[in-house]
Structure 1
Amino acid sequence: MNVRFAERSTLRDVRAYRDQEPSNAEGGSRITFDLSSNELVLPPLPTVLVGIREGLSRLARYPDPTARDLTEEIARHLCVSADELAVGPGSAGVLQQILLARCGKGDEVVYAWPGFDAYPLLVAISGATSVHVPLTGSGGHDLDEIRTRISARTKVVILCSPHNPTGTMIDHGELHSFLHSLPDHVVTVLDEAYVEFDRGSNPPGLPVFLREHSNTVVLRTFSKAYGLAGLRVGYAAGPRQVIATVRKTAIPFGVTRFAEQAAILSLRSEVELRERLAAVAAAREELTAGLRELKLPVLPSRANFVWLPLASATESFARTAATAGVKVRAYPGHGARISVGETEAHRVLLAALGQRFVEAGSEMP
């Protein structure tokens, strides 16, 4: 019996997330170092590892579907109310909840491009249409152009700061001015997945920011600075009426008890986290310096990765890295993103690029 499956129209031109990406090989080369996903190369904080081991005996039980303990811990940490928070399976999972709560067929979501490569898929799942706005020449948001793309159909604007994949920050004054200029029917999602790398473990000012911008939701994650990518936990902070709707779109039991406990312990480990952030920043600057010595066009970064605007040379650059056993993230036609990794990974990559420079002369990369 043949059954015709009617696929949602917004999904026809998108792929499952990274379904075409090779697991360990690129052009026949075996990958030794993966610098493509902005993962932290360090393990979770020592305090967190102890807490996870102690929870193994509770695997047969469902977690709290409201993640109440973590919600209250985040509220204390950020000095906001618990009903201004929604917790979910990573910031991508919470963003999907926001889009499902706000968007449907005929709606539009505006964001800078290139950007986080899950954005197009998550928008398509909600039934809305993506509106891409090119980055500026310096890798930042073109807020004026984003403003011109907003229409009556726009339900959400996504801003990412530090931006993925370029590592640039949105100027605070320009951000406030932009948010004040938006119409009331638009909710802005400020994706701060990498904010700890720029401003420390507990960026200040969130309660004041949310009061001043009542149509803005701030999105954060424990996957990056806290090193919990494998546990999937993130959260959104925003207006009570928006957050209440966002919670309705959550997958039941989407945040495991392990993830909840690990996130709570992470928030209580400020000293350990600050030491880790300092180490990542030092490694980032060393990688940046090494790339600049090779005359490569690397942008200053405020995250745990660096961006090279390579345009048409992007794929060639990625192949050179892969041949040496290092996987980077290529955005064809735009540039390459390199996550901060192990010292040895940086050494191998820079050596391969240096050899390519010797072979190609001024045509590097």
Structure 2
Amino acid sequence: MSSPPLPGAHRLGDFSAYRSHEAPRSDATGTEWDLSNNELTLPPLPEVAEAVRICGLDPNRYPAPLPHLLVERLAGQFGVARTQIVVGPGSAGVLQQLLLVLCTERDEVLYAWPAFDAYPLLIAVAGATGVRVPLTATGAHDLSVFLARVTPRTRVVILCTPHNPTGRRISRDELRWFLNELPPQVVTIVDQAYVEFDELDENDDLDLVHQRSKAVLLRTFSKAYGLAGLRVGYALADSEISETARKATLPFAVTRAAEAAAVASLDQETVMKERIAMVRRLRTELGESLGDLGLACPPSHGNFLWLPLGRSATGFGESVARDGIKVRVYPDHGVRISVGSRAAHRRLLAAARVTGHAAD
């Protein structure tokens, strides 16, 4: 006699676990040549490394059920109430908390495609239905198309800016226009995982949280702060949304080391800005070098570049992989290349020089 299906299994049946098909990293490959994960390749700051070391001396101790110290620090950093902050295991973890409390099985969530490939899985876990909205030919959001896709079932819109994987940003004027046009029941989650790499002031969007109860800013310490392996992210939102989302937090989800590293990173603002400026310079250099090879990249505001290769994307990825370079391939769309070291860039450019691939 067969067992009854698990609740929500009909939503997850079309998905595999996130990136479960990928082989584990191998020391033989060397992470220096992995340009697929948008990681910061710079070593941790000494103060951050020391904070992690100290926390590692007593791993027998639980972290706080909720990371109150980091919440207090973020509240002061952004001039918001503590009740407006949600902290979790990376921005993906916080996004899952938000979707779980905002959505029911009757609801739809709109998001651009291609995009961060965890979006559809996280939406399905929340029991909602994902609705993909194609990017424009230049890799940008078409917010008018988003509005046309809104129905009475639409509960959440996810906008990623700067966008992963294309690096395009939504202008402040466009974003505010869009929020004003949405029906009042729709919550907009603005995924700003890469906002620190943009040339604009990341604090300019804080008024969205202060003035619009249905706008959420989602951020992470994984990218610009280089804490991808520690898993800590946060959201700034209306207190009602934040307080509800905190109820969906897995207890002890943010480790003591992750919290301490995040606080130490916030205390090193000047050095962090210098490191971010270095990533921007490397991004510009790599883009210009790829352009010299006939591989034109649109302007990017993240720590990566986008090659809109269309049907040639898979072939390009396979070709550079044979030379030891791993990039992120979006079949039939393009290739995302993370900013790495100059040595990794030289290896990539040498491999790309002989691929012969161009956009379709």
TM (norm. structure 1) is 0.94
* More off after superposition, 57-66 vs 1-10: 1-10
**How far does residue 281 in structure 1 lie from its aligned partner after superposition?**
0.6
Counterpart Cα distance in 2 of 1:258 and 1:100:
26
Counterpart Cα distance in 1 of 2:231 and 2:4:
35
Overall identity of the aligned pairs, in %: 49
Counterpart Cα distance in 2 of 1:286 and 1:24:
27
**How far does residue 9 in structure 1 lie from its aligned partner after superposition?**
1.0
Partner of 2:302: 303
SS in 1 for 2:22: coil
Counterpart Cα distance in 1 of 2:215 and 2:272:
27
Amino acid at match of 1:268: D
**How far does residue 24 in structure 1 lie from its aligned partner after superposition?**
4.8
**How far does residue 199 in structure 1 lie from its aligned partner after superposition?**
4.0
Partner of 2:82: 82
SS in 2 for 1:235: strand
Counterpart Cα distance in 1 of 2:210 and 2:259:
27
Report the CA distance shift for 1:106/1:60 in structure 2 as closer, same or farther (over 3 A).
Answer: same
Partner of 1:10: 11
Partner of 1:121: 121
| RMSD of aligned Cα (Å) | 1.8
Counterpart Cα distance in 2 of 1:137 and 1:3:
47
Partner of 2:283: 284
SS in 2 for 1:57: coil
List aligned pairs for 1:35-184, cutoff 5 A.
Answer: 35-184=35-184
- CA offset digits 1:156-194 (Å, max 9, x no partner): 100000000000100110100000111111100000000
SS in 2 for 1:121: helix
Partner of 2:329: 330
- CA offset digits 1:226-270 (Å, max 9, x no partner): 000000000000101111110011111110111111100101101
Unpaired runs of at least 5, structure 1: none
- CA offset digits 1:80-127 (Å, max 9, x no partner): 111000000000000000000011212110010000011011001000
List aligned pairs for 1:203-282, cutoff 5 A.
Answer: 203-282=202-281
Counterpart Cα distance in 1 of 2:342 and 2:334:
23
SS in 2 for 1:109: strand
- The 8 Å contact of residues 167 and 299 in structure 2, kept in 1 or not, is answered as yes
- The 8 Å contact of residues 218 and 237 in structure 1, kept in 2 or not, is answered as yes
- The 8 Å contact of residues 39 and 227 in structure 1, kept in 2 or not, is answered as yes
Partner of 2:22: 21
Partner of 2:339: 340
Counterpart Cα distance in 1 of 2:265 and 2:311:
41
Give the number of equivalent residue pairs. Answer: 357
Counterpart Cα distance in 2 of 1:179 and 1:99:
19
Amino acid at match of 1:174: E
* More off after superposition, 45-54 vs 314-323: 45-54
- The 8 Å contact of residues 31 and 326 in structure 1, kept in 2 or not, is answered as no
- The 8 Å contact of residues 89 and 254 in structure 2, kept in 1 or not, is answered as yes
SS in 2 for 1:329: strand
**How far does residue 212 in structure 1 lie from its aligned partner after superposition?**
2.1
- The 8 Å contact of residues 292 and 298 in structure 1, kept in 2 or not, is answered as yes
SS in 2 for 1:97: helix
**How far does residue 22 in structure 1 lie from its aligned partner after superposition?**
2.7
Counterpart Cα distance in 2 of 1:57 and 1:364:
52
Counterpart Cα distance in 2 of 1:190 and 1:45:
28
- The 8 Å contact of residues 310 and 359 in structure 2, kept in 1 or not, is answered as no
Partner of 1:317: 316
